[in-house]
Structure 1
């Protein structure tokens, strides 16, 4: 599988960055408009409550239509792991259905005083093989550039 990694440091404590990144609101705020994301429904695990926090066992049914071209593409993500400690937090979402045969995105956050280091790591495989995996980087790079710019805009404050 191919791997794509990016990291960002924000001037916000871990608790604030974690609270933002682990919600449906955070997902929507960090998705570029050109993807035309639509969250169709969210399945919460038994006893998962009504909170908008994306807990382990949450399944997100969404669709995208990049640049408004072509039919909408279904995308189902499943939160396989979620852990919060005093100085670190992370969650992992795996694509169960969508344009990639394999996709695992780890959202890791590390406390550094009143700052937080965010590290995104995506392990993926496209249907087009190795050449497609390399080409996918050209789509992932601007998407994560946008995500990190929006994160900084939202969390860094004035």
Structure 2
């Protein structure tokens, strides 16, 4: 069983409150997700983020295949971090930790995603050419979009 990790850090010139209010609001996921992913929230965003929250989306992650993605917010520490875990969707495992901390002149956000692909060896073969590049592309888009929204950290 192969578990992969994607680790990203980004600094933004905004306050911790602004960062938390934006990043912890699941409705903002559509804003920072590429349009071609067809991201659409189906349910679960009626209340502010809380541990135990179930959020359902429709996404087109790869090869034009539309799929339902169900995540649970498993941990929330206000203005510090939250964790979402896939309960149903395209991965055999998806565990995404979002950390936010104050730094001089802004905040630093850190994403750590541990994930496992379905289909055993076939999934592992698809990882370097299909899955990993797609995840990198999505998170690079997110980084650029956050800079567009909040500016460049100096």
Q: Distance in 2 between matches of 1:68 and 1:20?
A: 30
Match of 1:14 in 2: 16
**Which of these residues, 59, 62, 72, is aligned with residue 57 of structure 2?**
62
Q: What runs of 5+ residues in structure 2 fail to find an aligned partner?
A: none
Match of 2:81 in 1: 90
- Deviation, 1:64, is 0.8
Q: Distance in 2 between matches of 1:132 and 1:94?
A: 22
- Deviation, 1:20, is 0.4
Contact 1:77 1:93 in 2 (8 A): yes
**Which of these residues, 116, 125, 131, is aligned with residue 125 of structure 2?**
131
**Which of these residues, 33, 36, 40, is aligned with residue 34 of structure 1?**
36
Q: What runs of 5+ residues in structure 1 fail to find an aligned partner?
A: 44-49
Match of 2:102 in 1: 111
- Deviation, 1:147, is 0.8
Contact 2:27 2:41 in 1 (8 A): no
Match of 1:46 in 2: none
Match of 1:150 in 2: 145
- Deviation, 1:67, is 7.3
Q: Distance in 1 between matches of 2:30 and 2:119?
A: 28
Q: Distance in 1 between matches of 2:134 and 2:42?
A: 23
Q: Distance in 1 between matches of 2:15 and 2:58?
A: 32
Displacement over 4 Å in runs of 4+: none
Q: Is 1:78 equivalent to 2:72 in the alignment?
A: yes
